[in-house]
């Protein structure tokens, strides 16, 4: 990724245009040609032999003029204590500046546990909501990257048999984990923007495994980076988080959620960054309602 022009360009067996450019996806290891898929692949030996194993793989299909990546990725943004980690796959046509990610997305940030529990309970108890289908996503792939093959297989077995996980792994207890998100890069604006429904696997330690309407936007700015998330159940039930420059602002249609945030004492809403890390603060801001609707309304 070029930070000066906000362009994402594909590269296979060649270096970056500039040394300081960011790797959105990279792999190392051996180079082989896969006759079945008709593509060149780079990855570590065990990953080449079994693609479902953890680890990064980058492939180039000459006939399709397409490069794809598989594994952990990097948005190339600096959002301090608001951490966003995509795991899944990315594809990009040669000559195109518009890659597409299909990923599980881990979002982790300091926030009120009580407020997050209110949001999770609202989603869990909302009627007629579509259940998550892990077989149509990269969730299993993400689990293997995050918690290893053995634990991942147990989680998937539980989901297949019971629709929930009996013993949820501690490593997955993050603020919001999206099990399935499709993100497209819009170079004119320097943003990753989601399309379609969002599958939420968990909010902290509350299991969700349901699809919701909403939008995720991750912006690479010239002076600062930004993350915005809208979760929408219907026109009367929604939540909005937006982070930039050490401040996360939130608002929602849920008065109980809002009240918890508003009544949280100042010292409980501010987090000093560790050495070299940005400070973090969150606050309620009802003026952000319009921004949430703008994000939902915009076309990809």
Distance CA 211, CA 179 (A): 9
Distance CA 213, CA 233 (A): 6
- Residue 294 is classified by DSSP as H
Which has the higher per-residue pLDDT, 18 or 32? 32
Quick one: tokens of 250?
């939130």
Closest CA to 21 of 5, 36, 41: 5
Classify residue 11 by burial, with Cβ atoms within 10 Å: 0-12, 13-18, 19+.
Answer: middle
Closest CA to 54 of 135, 134, 157, 148: 148
Look at residue 6 and tell me whether its pLDDT is greater than 70. no
Least confident of 78-82, 135-139, 253-257: 135-139
Q: Are 47 and 136 in contact (CB under 8 A)?
A: no
Q: Are 212 and 201 in contact (CB under 8 A)?
A: no
Instruction: Name the pLDDT band for 17 (thresholds 50, 70, 90).
Output: low
Q: What is the DSSP string of 194-247?
A: EEEEEEEEEETTEEEEEEEEEEEEEE--SS--EEEEEEEEETTEEEEEEEETTE
Inside any domain, residue 46: no
Look at residue 9 and tell me whether its pLDDT is greater than 90. no
* pLDDT at residue number 12: 66
Distance CA 283, CA 265 (A): 10
Instruction: Name the pLDDT band for 64 (thresholds 50, 70, 90).
Output: confident
Look at residue 283 and tell me whether its pLDDT is greater than 80. yes
Inside any domain, residue 97: no
* pLDDT at residue number 192: 94
* pLDDT at residue number 98: 86
Quick one: tokens of 296?
């939902």
Inside any domain, residue 62: no
Distance CA 1, CA 121 (A): 39
Structural domain including 164 reads 105-297
pLDDT, average across residues 93-103: 85
When divided into structural domains, the chain yields a total of: 1
Least confident of 9-23, 106-120, 191-205, 274-288: 9-23
**Using one digit for the tens of pLDDT, what is the confidence trace for 210-240?**
999 999 999 988 889 999 999 999 999 999 9
Inside any domain, residue 15: no
Inside any domain, residue 228: yes
Instruction: Name the pLDDT band for 299 (thresholds 50, 70, 90).
Output: low
Inside any domain, residue 12: no
pTM of the model: 0.91
Inside any domain, residue 42: no
Inside any domain, residue 216: yes
Look at residue 2 and tell me whether its pLDDT is greater than 60. no
Distances (CA, A) of 167 to 162, 172, 260, 263, 270: 12, 11, 29, 33, 32
234 bridge partner residues: 237
Greatest mean pLDDT range, 17-26, 88-97, 216-225:
216-225
């Amino acid at each position: 990724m070029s930070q000066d022009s906000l362009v994402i360009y594909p590269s296979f067996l060649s270096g970056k245009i500039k040394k300081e450019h960011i790797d959105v996806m990279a792999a190392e290891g051996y180079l082989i040609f896969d006759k079945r898929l008709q593509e060149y692949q780079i990855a570590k030996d065990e990953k080449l032999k079994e693609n479902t194993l953890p680890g990064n793989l980058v492939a180039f299909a000459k006939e399709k003029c397409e490069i794809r990546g598989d594994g952990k990725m990097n948005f190339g943004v600096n959002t301090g204590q608001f951490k966003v980690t995509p795991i899944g796959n990315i594809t990009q046509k040669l000559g195109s500046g518009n890659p597409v990610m299909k990923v599980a997305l881990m979002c982790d940030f300091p926030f009120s546990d009580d407020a997050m529990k209110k949001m999770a309970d609202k989603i869990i108890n909302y009627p007629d909501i579509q259940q998550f289908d892990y077989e149509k996503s990269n969730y299993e792939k993400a689990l293997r990257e995050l918690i290893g093959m053995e634990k991942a297989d147990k989680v998937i077995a539980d989901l297949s048999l019971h629709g929930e996980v009996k013993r949820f792994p501690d490593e997955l207890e993050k603020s919001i984990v999206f099990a399935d998100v499709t993100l497209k890069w819009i170079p004119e604006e320097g943003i990753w923007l989601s399309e379609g429904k969002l599958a939420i696997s968990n909010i902290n330690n509350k299991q969700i495994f349901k699809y919701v309407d909403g939008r995720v936007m991750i912006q690479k700015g010239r002076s600062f980076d930004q993350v915005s998330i809208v979760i929408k159940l219907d026109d009367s039930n929604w939540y909005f988080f937006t982070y930039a420059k050490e401040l996360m602002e939130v608002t929602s249609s849920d008065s109980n959620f809002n009240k918890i945030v508003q009544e949280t004492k100042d010292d409980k809403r501010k987090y000093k960054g560790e050495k070299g890390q940005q400070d973090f603060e969150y606050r309620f801001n009802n003026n952000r309602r319009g921004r949430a609707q703008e994000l939902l309304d915009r076309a990809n």
